[in-house]
Amino acid sequence: MEMDRVRLNVSDGTTMEAVVARPASGAGPGLLVLQEAFGVNHHIRSVAERYAQRGFLAIAPELFHRSAPPGFEASYDAFDAIRPHMAALTTEGLLADLRAAYEWLRTQGKIDAERIAAVGYCMGGRCAYLANAELPLAAAISYYGGGIAPDMLDRAAKQHGPLLMFWGGLDAHIPPEQYRAVADALTAEGKDHVQAVFSKAGHGFNCDERPSYDESASREALSLVLEFLREHGVLSR
């Protein structure tokens, strides 16, 4: 397994850097790893690395590239540092970025283009849902994706691949009525989805570099992710 950086040309004329984690060998699946609001930091790079160790070609695009320098990352308590970059995001820009990262994966010689999925965390969880509405993904996994409800419920009808969505029962940022609205919208549209609520976990429970980390919930969620990807043909059994 090796890690490097690539530079992608985005359709709006901007250039976006991304961290890539490459598996040891062989053709396999591709994975979009979508960042939290704190950048493509050590944790997100570690996530990409762990998936590469399981055979994925993983790419983590820097979604703040229009407003932040390459390699931007902020500490988990530096909310003032991330606010201007969050405010600069647009749906159109994110869609262009997600497509650029997807197309990079799709054109890699050792990647099976029919087995590209997305996984995202917080802001990235919302982006995984957005990507699944616009790209022909084989599957998408969203961890505590804030803002899907109410802002993106109209995209439920456009979801391509099956969805696995994780929520924290103690998440102060995403109340139950929001994640229930997401589940109801997907069900109403007949979309294949799984909703898992960890009753004792809070926001950011998967990140082992945050105070909210919940080892048990993180471990159980990963087990569900891997089985979900096997069940839908993304990951070999």
Annotated catalytic residues are: 122, 171, 203
Asked if 12 and 98 count as a contact pair (C-beta separation under 8 A), the reply is: no
Using alpha carbons, select from 48, 235, 36, 66 the residue that is nearest to residue 143: 36
Using alpha carbons, select from 232, 205, 235 the residue that is nearest to residue 143: 205
CA distance 141 to 165: 6
What 3-state DSSP class applies to 40?
coil
Query: 171 φ, ψ to 5°?
Result: -70, 115
